[in-house]
Protein backbone atom coordinates (compact mmCIF):
# COMPACT_ATOMS: atom_id res chain seq x y z
CA UNK A 1 0.00 0.00 0.00
CA UNK A 2 0.90 3.62 -0.21
CA UNK A 3 1.29 4.17 3.50
CA UNK A 4 1.45 2.43 6.84
CA UNK A 5 -1.85 0.76 7.60
CA UNK A 6 -3.05 -0.08 11.10
CA UNK A 7 -6.06 -2.12 12.12
CA UNK A 8 -8.33 -1.84 13.94
CA UNK A 9 -8.55 1.94 14.13
CA UNK A 10 -10.55 1.61 17.33
CA UNK A 11 -10.78 -1.23 19.80
CA UNK A 12 -12.85 -1.32 22.95
CA UNK A 13 -12.30 -4.27 25.24
CA UNK A 14 -12.88 -5.32 28.81
CA UNK A 15 -10.27 -5.59 31.48
CA UNK A 16 -8.54 -8.95 31.37
CA UNK A 17 -9.15 -9.63 27.69
CA UNK A 18 -6.54 -10.32 25.00
CA UNK A 19 -6.00 -7.84 22.18
CA UNK A 20 -4.10 -7.91 18.89
CA UNK A 21 -3.19 -4.82 16.92
CA UNK A 22 -1.94 -5.12 13.36
CA UNK A 23 0.48 -3.00 11.37
CA UNK A 24 1.14 -3.24 7.65
CA UNK A 25 4.24 -1.15 6.85
CA UNK A 26 5.28 0.46 3.61
CA UNK A 27 6.52 -2.17 1.20
CA UNK A 28 10.29 -2.54 1.32
CA UNK A 29 10.73 -0.87 4.70
CA UNK A 30 12.89 -3.14 6.81
CA UNK A 31 12.55 -1.24 10.07
CA UNK A 32 9.22 -1.24 11.91
CA UNK A 33 8.45 0.55 15.17
CA UNK A 34 5.67 0.43 17.73
CA UNK A 35 4.91 3.41 19.96
CA UNK A 36 2.23 4.13 22.53
CA UNK A 37 0.78 7.59 22.97
CA UNK A 38 -1.36 8.74 25.86
CA UNK A 39 -3.42 11.91 25.74
CA UNK A 40 -1.27 15.02 25.80
CA UNK A 41 1.96 13.05 25.67
CA UNK A 42 4.51 12.27 23.02
CA UNK A 43 4.90 8.81 21.50
CA UNK A 44 6.54 6.39 23.90
CA UNK A 45 8.80 3.80 22.29
CA UNK A 46 7.81 0.17 22.77
CA UNK A 47 9.74 -2.04 20.33
CA UNK A 48 11.33 -2.04 16.94
CA UNK A 49 12.10 -4.70 14.37
CA UNK A 50 14.83 -4.95 11.83
CA UNK A 51 13.48 -7.50 9.41
CA UNK A 52 11.92 -10.35 11.35
CA UNK A 53 13.84 -9.89 14.57
CA UNK A 54 13.09 -7.57 17.46
CA UNK A 55 16.19 -5.39 17.53
CA UNK A 56 15.14 -3.51 20.65
CA UNK A 57 12.21 -4.38 22.89
CA UNK A 58 13.36 -2.33 25.86
CA UNK A 59 10.24 -0.16 25.77
CA UNK A 60 7.73 -2.95 26.35
CA UNK A 61 6.27 -2.15 29.78
CA UNK A 62 5.92 -5.74 31.02
CA UNK A 63 5.53 -9.32 29.88
CA UNK A 64 1.88 -8.84 29.00
CA UNK A 65 3.08 -7.07 25.86
CA UNK A 66 4.55 -8.98 22.96
CA UNK A 67 5.07 -8.25 19.27
CA UNK A 68 5.94 -10.35 16.24
CA UNK A 69 6.91 -9.80 12.64
CA UNK A 70 7.24 -13.34 11.31
CA UNK A 71 7.86 -12.58 7.63
CA UNK A 72 9.54 -9.22 7.96
CA UNK A 73 6.52 -7.29 6.81
CA UNK A 74 3.27 -7.21 8.79
CA UNK A 75 3.64 -6.92 12.55
CA UNK A 76 1.21 -7.72 15.34
CA UNK A 77 1.31 -6.20 18.81
CA UNK A 78 -0.27 -8.52 21.34
CA UNK A 79 -1.49 -7.48 24.77
CA UNK A 80 -2.57 -10.11 27.28
CA UNK A 81 -4.79 -9.57 30.31
CA UNK A 82 -5.45 -5.97 29.39
CA UNK A 83 -5.62 -3.36 32.13
CA UNK A 84 -7.30 0.05 32.12
CA UNK A 85 -3.87 1.65 32.10
CA UNK A 86 -3.21 0.09 28.70
CA UNK A 87 -5.73 2.49 27.17
CA UNK A 88 -3.86 4.64 24.65
CA UNK A 89 -3.26 5.10 20.95
CA UNK A 90 -0.81 2.55 19.61
CA UNK A 91 1.19 3.91 16.72
CA UNK A 92 3.14 1.93 14.17
CA UNK A 93 5.84 3.42 11.99
CA UNK A 94 8.26 2.12 9.40
CA UNK A 95 11.33 3.36 7.62
CA UNK A 96 13.59 2.15 4.88
CA UNK A 97 16.48 1.24 7.14
CA UNK A 98 17.12 1.17 10.85
CA UNK A 99 19.75 3.81 11.16
CA UNK A 100 18.62 6.66 8.98
CA UNK A 101 15.74 8.59 7.55
CA UNK A 102 12.27 9.62 8.50
CA UNK A 103 9.62 7.48 10.09
CA UNK A 104 6.32 7.00 8.29
CA UNK A 105 3.48 6.63 10.75
CA UNK A 106 0.14 4.96 10.52
CA UNK A 107 -3.00 6.60 11.87
CA UNK A 108 -2.85 4.51 15.02
CA UNK A 109 -5.08 2.05 16.85
CA UNK A 110 -7.01 3.57 19.72
CA UNK A 111 -7.38 1.02 22.50
CA UNK A 112 -9.88 1.55 25.28
CA UNK A 113 -9.95 -0.90 28.15
CA UNK A 114 -13.10 -0.70 30.22
CA UNK B 1 12.22 6.95 27.76
CA UNK B 2 11.53 10.34 26.27
CA UNK B 3 14.77 12.15 25.59
CA UNK B 4 13.54 15.31 23.87
CA UNK B 5 11.80 18.01 25.80
CA UNK B 6 9.92 20.66 23.88
CA UNK B 7 9.36 24.17 25.08
CA UNK B 8 6.88 25.76 25.37
CA UNK B 9 4.25 23.11 26.06
CA UNK B 10 1.63 25.30 24.41
CA UNK B 11 1.81 28.29 22.11
CA UNK B 12 -1.00 30.49 20.82
CA UNK B 13 -0.41 33.04 18.05
CA UNK B 14 -2.27 34.83 15.31
CA UNK B 15 -2.04 34.10 11.62
CA UNK B 16 0.92 35.76 10.01
CA UNK B 17 3.07 35.65 13.13
CA UNK B 18 6.11 33.44 13.51
CA UNK B 19 6.10 30.45 15.85
CA UNK B 20 9.26 29.21 17.56
CA UNK B 21 9.48 25.91 19.39
CA UNK B 22 12.51 24.58 21.20
CA UNK B 23 13.75 21.10 21.94
CA UNK B 24 16.41 20.00 24.38
CA UNK B 25 17.89 16.52 24.59
CA UNK B 26 20.33 14.69 26.80
CA UNK B 27 22.66 12.38 24.89
CA UNK B 28 24.68 12.46 21.68
CA UNK B 29 22.66 12.11 18.49
CA UNK B 30 23.10 11.17 14.84
CA UNK B 31 20.24 13.37 13.77
CA UNK B 32 17.23 15.20 15.11
CA UNK B 33 13.84 15.19 13.45
CA UNK B 34 10.70 17.27 13.80
CA UNK B 35 7.22 15.85 13.36
CA UNK B 36 3.76 17.31 13.27
CA UNK B 37 0.57 15.68 14.53
CA UNK B 38 -2.92 16.92 13.86
CA UNK B 39 -5.47 15.99 16.50
CA UNK B 40 -6.41 12.31 16.32
CA UNK B 41 -4.00 11.57 13.48
CA UNK B 42 -0.62 9.94 13.02
CA UNK B 43 2.64 11.87 12.99
CA UNK B 44 4.01 13.41 9.82
CA UNK B 45 7.70 14.03 9.27
CA UNK B 46 8.65 17.66 8.71
CA UNK B 47 12.40 17.93 8.60
CA UNK B 48 15.59 16.09 9.57
CA UNK B 49 18.81 17.78 10.60
CA UNK B 50 22.05 15.82 10.96
CA UNK B 51 24.43 16.26 13.86
CA UNK B 52 26.99 17.97 11.61
CA UNK B 53 24.47 20.52 10.33
CA UNK B 54 23.62 23.76 12.08
CA UNK B 55 20.64 25.01 10.11
CA UNK B 56 18.18 23.70 7.60
CA UNK B 57 15.27 25.18 5.70
CA UNK B 58 12.18 23.68 4.12
CA UNK B 59 9.54 26.06 2.82
CA UNK B 60 8.32 28.11 5.80
CA UNK B 61 10.23 25.91 8.24
CA UNK B 62 13.64 26.69 9.63
CA UNK B 63 15.40 24.31 11.99
CA UNK B 64 18.58 24.99 13.92
CA UNK B 65 20.71 22.56 15.87
CA UNK B 66 23.27 23.37 18.55
CA UNK B 67 24.97 20.14 19.58
CA UNK B 68 27.09 21.89 22.20
CA UNK B 69 23.92 22.94 24.01
CA UNK B 70 22.02 19.81 23.00
CA UNK B 71 19.17 21.89 21.68
CA UNK B 72 17.21 22.53 18.52
CA UNK B 73 14.61 25.04 17.46
CA UNK B 74 11.83 24.93 14.90
CA UNK B 75 10.66 28.22 13.42
CA UNK B 76 7.47 28.41 11.38
CA UNK B 77 7.27 31.71 9.55
CA UNK B 78 4.09 33.47 8.45
CA UNK B 79 1.91 30.97 10.30
CA UNK B 80 -1.49 29.88 9.03
CA UNK B 81 -4.51 28.47 10.82
CA UNK B 82 -3.72 25.15 9.11
CA UNK B 83 -0.43 25.01 11.07
CA UNK B 84 -2.46 24.33 14.23
CA UNK B 85 -1.15 20.99 15.49
CA UNK B 86 1.25 19.42 17.97
CA UNK B 87 4.92 19.44 17.09
CA UNK B 88 7.43 16.91 18.37
CA UNK B 89 11.17 16.60 18.17
CA UNK B 90 12.73 13.16 18.00
CA UNK B 91 16.32 12.16 18.47
CA UNK B 92 17.98 9.36 16.54
CA UNK B 93 21.18 7.91 17.94
CA UNK B 94 23.24 4.78 17.50
CA UNK B 95 23.74 4.53 21.23
CA UNK B 96 20.00 4.35 21.84
CA UNK B 97 19.69 1.59 19.31
CA UNK B 98 18.09 3.85 16.70
CA UNK B 99 14.82 3.86 18.57
CA UNK B 100 13.67 7.41 17.89
CA UNK B 101 12.85 9.06 21.18
CA UNK B 102 10.14 11.70 21.15
CA UNK B 103 9.51 14.60 23.47
CA UNK B 104 6.14 15.57 24.90
CA UNK B 105 5.49 18.10 22.16
CA UNK B 106 4.43 21.69 21.75
CA UNK B 107 0.76 22.33 21.07
CA UNK B 108 0.48 25.21 18.59
CA UNK B 109 -2.76 27.11 18.07
CA UNK B 110 -2.89 29.62 15.22
CA UNK B 111 -5.98 31.80 15.25
CA UNK B 112 -7.27 33.61 12.15
The answer to whether the CB atoms of B98 and A48 lie below 8 A apart is: yes
Q: Confidence class of residue B1 from pLDDT cuts 50, 70 and 90?
A: very low
**Residue pLDDT, tens place only, A43-82:** 999 999 999 998 889 999 999 999 999 999 999 999 999 9
Distance (Å) of CA B27 to CA A85, B5, B71, B79, B105: 30, 12, 11, 31, 18
Mark out chain A residues that contact chain B at CB-CB < 8 A: 4, 31, 33, 35, 40-45, 48, 55-56, 58-59, 91, 93, 98-108
pLDDT at A63: 95
Q: How far apart are CA B107 and CA B12, in angstroms?
A: 8
Cβ of B30 and A99 within 8 Å? yes
Percent of chain A clearing pLDDT 90 (strictly above): 88
Q: pLDDT grade, residue B99 (50/70/90)?
A: confident
Contact A41 B104 (CB under 8 A): yes
Average pLDDT over all residues of chain A? 94
Question: How far does A102 lie from chain B, in Å, by closest CA?
Answer: 6
Minimal Cα distance from A101: which residue of B?
B48
pLDDT category at A97 given cuts 50, 70, 90 is: confident
In whole angstroms, give the CA distance from residue A68 to residue A72. 9
The secondary structure of residue B89, as a DSSP letter, is E
CB contact under 8 A, A91 and B102: no
C-alpha distance from B72 to closest chain A C-alpha (Å): 17
Nearest to A32 by CA among A64, A76, A63, A62: A76
Nearest CA to A113 out of A94, A96, A88, A91 is that of A88
| Residue A7: per-residue pLDDT | 98
Residues counted in chain A: 114
**What is the 3-class SS of A37-106, one letter each residue?**
ECCCCCCEEEEEEECCEEEECCCCCCCCEEEECCCCCCEEEEECCCCHHHCEEEEEEEECECCECCCEEC
Is B35 a residue whose pLDDT tops 90? yes
Amino acid sequence: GAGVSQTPSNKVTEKGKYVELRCDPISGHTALYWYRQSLGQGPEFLIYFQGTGAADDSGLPNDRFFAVRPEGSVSTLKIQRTERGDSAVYLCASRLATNTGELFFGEGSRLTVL
Amino acid sequence: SQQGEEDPQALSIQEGENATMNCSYKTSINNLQWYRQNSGRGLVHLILIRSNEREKHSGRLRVTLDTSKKSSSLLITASRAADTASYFCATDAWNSGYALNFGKGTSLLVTP
